[in-house]
Amino acid sequence: MKTDPTFWLLARASGLAAYVLLTTSVLAGLTVKSRPLGPRVKAAAAIDLHKFVSLLALGAIAVHGVTLVLDSTVRISVAALFVPGLSPYRPLATGIGILAAELMVLIYVSFSLRRRIGVRNWRRLHYFTFLVFGAATVHGLAAGTDKWAFGLYAASVAAVTSLTAWRVITKGGKVNAPVRQQPEGQAALQQT
């Protein structure tokens, strides 16, 4: 008896879509302060894009989970979508994906809690986005993917790594101007 691959294909497509959207969200978040495209990209626009794409990524993750439950190729229960290790299909890889999704939900909810938890704690929580991205990458590669998708993962990791490096090197986009040397006499006059 042949099984219908529709839900399996939808699960894979929605998983890849979620990964692309997560990558886009991380890149948009990194551009908020670093502004690699210069002043043309306003911080408010980058923040709006970041939040919107994050929500789309969460929607794609939800579709990914629902289609896995509906698929008859691998039997995955609803509980296995929320509890790491319950999935009969590659439990470690699937569990990593579940943890990444749950942490992503927490980070997304923190947008609305920013005033309550404080900007400093909110920013610390947001650093876990790198963990989400890394875990989602491991999940995608370890849970099974097509060979052509390795290029997608490599390009995503390269883009996030490059923009993260840009942000670190430029200290959040603020490239420090070189300090001009002043003659000794002028420096002494300015200190008094």
Would you state the structure tokens that stand for residue 103, as one six-digit string? 């942490």
The pTM of this model reads: 0.82
Mind spelling out the 3-state secondary structure of 29-63?
HHHHHHCCCHHHCCHHHHHHHHHHHHHHHHHHHHH
190 domain residue, yes or no: no
Query: How many domains are contained in the chain?
Result: 1
pLDDT at site 46: 77
User: Are 152 and 19 spatial neighbours (Cβ–Cβ below 8 Å)?
Assistant: yes
Write down the pLDDT at residue 101. 96
- Residue 82 resides in a domain: yes
Residues 32, 18: contact at Cβ < 8 Å?
no
Which one has a higher pLDDT value, 138 or 1?
138
Spatial CA neighbour of 89 closest among 106, 103, 71, 107? 71
185 in any annotated domain: no
Residue 175: Cβ-neighbour burial (10 angstroms; 0-12, 13-18, 19+): exposed
Range of the domain at 132: 6-176
Query: What DSSP character marks residue 178?
Result: P
Predicted pLDDT of residue 160: 96
Average pLDDT, the chain: 84
- Tell me the per-residue pLDDT of 151-162, one tens digit each, with 9 for 90 and over: 999 999 999 999
Let me know how long the chain is. 192
Q: Which of 122, 153, 164 is nearest to 29 (CA)?
A: 164
**1, part of any domain:** no
Q: Quick one: which of 107, 159, 167, 151 has its CA closest to 132?
A: 107
Percent of the chain with pLDDT over 70: 82
Over residues 109-125, mean pLDDT: 90
Inside any domain, residue 183: no
- Measured CA distances, 188 to 82, 179, 181, 182, 192 (Å): 66, 16, 13, 10, 7
- Asked whether residue 187 is domain-assigned, the answer is no
The answer to whether residue 78 sits within a structural domain is yes
CA distance 22 to 79: 24
Q: Which residue has the higher pLDDT, 136 or 173?
A: 136
Q: Which segment of 23-27, 59-63, 72-76, 180-184 scores lowest on mean pLDDT? A: 180-184
Is the confidence at residue 189, as pLDDT, over 50?
A: no
47 in a structural domain: yes
Q: Which two tokens stand for residue 79?
A: 């509980």
Phi, psi of 169 (to 5 degrees): -65, -40
